[in-house]
Amino acid sequence: LMVTTAVVIALQYFCSDRALFAWERNVRSFWISITVLIPSLLLLTFALHVFDRFKIVFTDRFNGRIEKAALPRPADAASGRKPAEVSSQLVDKFPKDHALFDPPFLEGVHLRVFLKLEIVGRILLPYILDRGSSYGWQSSEETTKRVVVEFSSPNIASEFQGKHLRSTIIGAFISRLYESLGWDVIRINYLGDWGKPIALLKVGWGKFDSEEAFKKDPIGHLLDVYHQIEELFQPEQAASKKARDDAAKEGRDEGDAQVEIESQGIFAERNEAFKKLEAGNEAMVSFWERIRAANVDNYTDFYNRLSVQFDEYSGESKVSQEVMVEVEQLLKDKDLSEESGGAWIVHMQKLGAKAGTAIIRDRSGSSTYLLRDLAAVLERSRKYAFDKMVYVVASDNSVHFSQLFKILEALDMKDLAAKLQHVRFSEVSKMSAALGKGYKPQAILDVSEEAMKGLSQADEEKSGLLGNSEQVTKTLGISALLLQEAATRHTSAHAFDTSAFASFKPSTGPELQYWYTKVCTLLSGHAASAELADDQFEGLADEDRANLLRVLAQYPEAVNATFQSLEPSGIVNYLTAITEQLPDLLEDEEDKIDISAGSIALLEATRIVMQNGLKLLGVVPIPDL
């Protein structure tokens, strides 16, 4: 309370700087704030007190978790003994002069037990230096398991959107994470390379194509054609939507007016083209092959720049017709699907879902997105015999995936359904607005690189250490992008804020790269060894160094926690916790004429852990270049 009071007075005083003598007025507002503050502080204290009696303390973050212990409150409450009493008795019982631990001390009602400062280094340094790039990954599984990770999955008729970028980055991260933990990982890119949008593009191609423009810039031209036909199509789509809404308002399932609208104009042309494609019409298929190949070429170039690889460029087009028919038959046999106005649908309520209708085959007899995914699961499970499959797809697909999983369960494939996971994330993104219409995915990396020009202005010294060669700028641009993505929780809107790329704020790509480079610079010319003399370990026994070691000890734990959440932000927070320990410590080392063997070992361990974490995020640490 005294501190708060002092702060309030200081604030009042400070704010009224120019009206130093308006003291009375300040006194009045001062009393108002005090009357609010005191009761709320009392209330808070009381609440904390009650809460504390029944809680077990988990120390979060990464500091000292292995060393802190807390008393289980409920047991004490039951025995009727006061927690403080129990704690102080335990302190007395603790052996004096323990080889590994300092005497515990009481903090409130908690008993804190710490390893002796020099012990931390003795245990950890040899361990980290010995494990090197494999430090952090402990697989508890005896046999190798296989996971299929499906990610990126852009649609070839339209732009590579923010949600696809997010899927690419999160999916590649999840793949590396599984791989590090000893899984056999199959990476699949399930392209949106089939369906009505492709057919619409073909309709547009017939109207706006130019071989010359395609030769010059295939993807740019295709996007251009797509936007032109989209614009032409727009009024028809609006009319159809209105007819459907009107029908729904009147309580009719089927809108005759809508059917009428969709049976002519571009609607009819598009549906006709898609039917031809599904029927294997030669001209349609060769058009489709041509644009698919052009897109895959272009994506591959983009993924290469990001160091992302796929085992398979699959896609909606690659799903076998036979397996789709097989799924449809299964649905009919189990009486799960029914005909409705020429379409085949599943009433989700029948399957125990709250509501919804799933369309398996549409009115025009074409397969749907859902039918293709249903068949794709069966195909993949036969081809790869996976133990797990992760779909890294934006939340706009959530209903789709819950229908997919529910239908599989209803088809008596519960075991298979249990292996599937939809890792969803917010599809909201400002990326396409930032890049404008008709951009190619490479533009994402170009603007990130471009933004690095602002780094020297952000911090001349830091950017000076990193350098500005072409290679470094490229790597920094990608680091900035990756870290902004990785730091954003799955549920938050996709940031893509290029104005924040050129920054050395905590957790940014440039900042993490800077500290990594700084550690490497101090290490250059020195070889680390963990076989240290006693006095070297004692030299590491100060608070700063022991704290850094404590953070380094938490890496496997951070990896494990991340494996549960599949959120890269866990690793970002962890790396940030390391960098928070570095400024004083590195400055201290820089001031020394000779860097000690103990410090070299500590810095090398720090470098190893940072390298492992950065690589897990997909970042190439700069001095690696």
List of residues contacting ligand ARG (CB under 6 A): 150, 153, 155, 190, 192, 373, 391, 393, 397
Cα dist from 277 to 10, 252, 366, 535, whole Å: 75, 32, 10, 76
Closer to ligand ARG at the Cβ: 150 or 511?
150
Q: How far is CA 123 from the centre of its chain?
A: 33
Write down the least CB distance from residue 388 to ligand ARG, Å: 15
CA distance 486 to 507: 10
- Distance spanning both ends of the chain, measured CA to CA: 54
Rama region for 270: left / alpha / beta (φ>0; ψ in -120 to 50; rest) = alpha
Q: Exposed, middle or buried, 340 (CB in 10 Å: 0-12/13-18/19+)?
A: middle
Write down the least CB distance from residue 611 to ligand ARG, Å: 33
The residue behind tokens 């032409």 is 232
Closer to ligand ARG at the Cβ: 153 or 479?
153
Length of the chain: 625
Q: In what order do the strands lie in the sheet with 343-347?
A: 337-340, 343-347, 357-361
Closer to ligand ARG at the Cβ: 317 or 397?
397
Write down the least CB distance from residue 150 to ligand ARG, Å: 6
Start-end of H helices in 186-264: 196-208, 211-216, 218-249, 256-262
Closer to ligand ARG at the Cβ: 209 or 230?
230
Write down the least CB distance from residue 332 to ligand ARG, Å: 23
Copy the structure tokens of residue 57: 């303390």
Closer to ligand ARG at the Cβ: 190 or 496?
190
SS (H, E, C) 347-380: EHHHHCCCCCEEEEECCCCCECHHHHHHHHHHHH
Write down the least CB distance from residue 226 to ligand ARG, Å: 14
- Residue 554: CA atoms inside 13 Å, Cβ hemisphere, count? 26
The residue behind tokens 């249903």 is 374
The residue of the chain with the least Cβ separation from ligand ARG equals 192
Write down the least CB distance from residue 293 to ligand ARG, Å: 18
Closer to ligand ARG at the Cβ: 131 or 388?
388
Pairing between strand 420-423 and 388-392?
parallel
Amino acid at 217: D
Closer to ligand ARG at the Cβ: 174 or 585?
174
Write down the least CB distance from residue 198 to ligand ARG, Å: 12
Stated as kind and residue range, the H or E segment containing 7 is helix 2-15
Structural contact between residues 426 and 494, judged by C-beta atoms closer than 8 angstroms: yes
Closer to ligand ARG at the Cβ: 157 or 452?
157
Write down the least CB distance from residue 315 to ligand ARG, Å: 9
Closer to ligand ARG at the Cβ: 155 or 508?
155
Write down the least CB distance from residue 195 to ligand ARG, Å: 9
